[in-house]
Structure 1
């Protein structure tokens, strides 16, 4: 009853009957509880505390004092009896607290508004077969009876099985025509669509005006809808929205970005629109069902793990296979870097000379795009404002200065030869490595370490008996080696100087 009264108070007000005098109060009035305003109302904090519980607590405290006294006096029997009484009192207090807690819980639950139980939609019975199908089923059954009377059991059983198959085929629920329509329209390449990010999810979407033009240019797709094929485009899309096959979206950035003249025709980030109705003007609609997996996607799902395994097993490939993989990867990397440098050079030249922003392969650096958009060659239309000639001249001078600095600090021929030799040695080590050589090298290294330790021990023992003249000769040999290294560096520097003089 209290719960219904509180609900009426919320809906109609406490003075719904006109018998309650409404009093306006302020938080600083004397009759307003300060503790309640601060969230420290004793009534709420001590809901499980009553006079009976307080009396039990006092009795427990007194009995505990008696237990201590009996323990001090050495009266074991009395102490045990007192402890049993204490346990009984504690159990009684726990039961009373549990009862109060359950009452408080039920009271709070009753004060809450109970939601209406969900209405479970009844499963519609399977549609009866059409007249033609029912006629065929009746003929099959009649034929089975006649064959059974004639003693042809196998033929009669076959006719019954055919009749049952027709019944099951008719009772199987058919797919929604709008679901089939949405799948066919999505698979059709004539409806232009793009990919975008909506609520951290990658979705495929189309524009309302493109869908309207698509339906008008390709009316045969309406045939899937059956009796609804003559509906207007607006009614068809609204039905798709009702069945959650598509959802209306809106662009996240609703203002023109700096340097742009108008909003992007295909925004990269979307959000759900508040009004889920069809509109042709500036309306975006995202597909809400999973697209059927194509054959090549299924094949790739099996190929990628094999490719990763093949990459991990590269060190054990035969020499010829390593050569093919190395030059293929180097060629692909060189091709990609060349494209990036070439498109950057074309952009810089056209931007400085004409003030046009022209990016060939405009989506090559995009993170979220399809393969068809990734390899698109022609640039998009420049919608930004033309830059000033002063900024173009400034960036041209900066680029020229960077090129001159790089050319001045470029390595000479000797340095390039040394770098080339180092890289060649690294590549040869990778190509010539094999498990057999690695195992044999580990064994030779282990035996060589033992031999080195023995030779070091022998050399240290013999060095104490070597005359000073021998040590002097050894130092002379070391100095000769350093002199030869210095001569090699001097020859490299002379070779570099000669090269510069020839180029000049």
Structure 2
């Protein structure tokens, strides 16, 4: 993106579609069905996971920073209940991801050498310690980049302790199985983003994973969904009440078909009697 395009996007984000008097520049409003409501709430997976291994491509609905700015301004005075739309969108997306995770676990169970319960427990202990190291290392590096040196150093101390525990766990795992089997890469599936992690992955590889855009993107999506789900039932009730208030509580009653026929029949007989009297 050129400097000019970046500046234009920044102005769109700050001022919306009405900047420079361009009130109808887009020909679409943020409340139109064609606009992505998850994008307006900054939680569309198409945007969050762009340029990752799981890039979803362009969202079928419109993403526009100016429309988001319009929505943020309008939502200060009116409730549009777009959090409900976003909840349903993210629920469907995460459900699909969880199905892929389950399928990946099944494939591993079918293709990897089956281990005894004792060996599996030891392998899982190594995996869990390795994941803790990778997560903390990624966090320590991020803190260092933000200038929070003291916090970063404290985390590195915790990482050193975890490495000692991992070395002990690896030795127990190694001693529990033949050398030929130990050399084989034992994989597991990341519960957050469904990527494969190996028991022999080094700290750098794990830190790159846990600090990478894909994994962090999934954390963002899952945390946003968890936040939305806390209030979605109440919000649905509020939306229903708002709709009833807007329509004045009117309900359109449609007479059952059998009653409609009876009414027409009585009306027809009454008309026939009137004609005979004449």
TM-score, length of structure 1 as denominator length: 0.13
Q: Which has the higher Rg, Structure 1 or Structure 2?
A: 1
TM-score, length of structure 2 as denominator length: 0.20
Larger RCO (CA under 8 A, 6+ residues apart) = 2
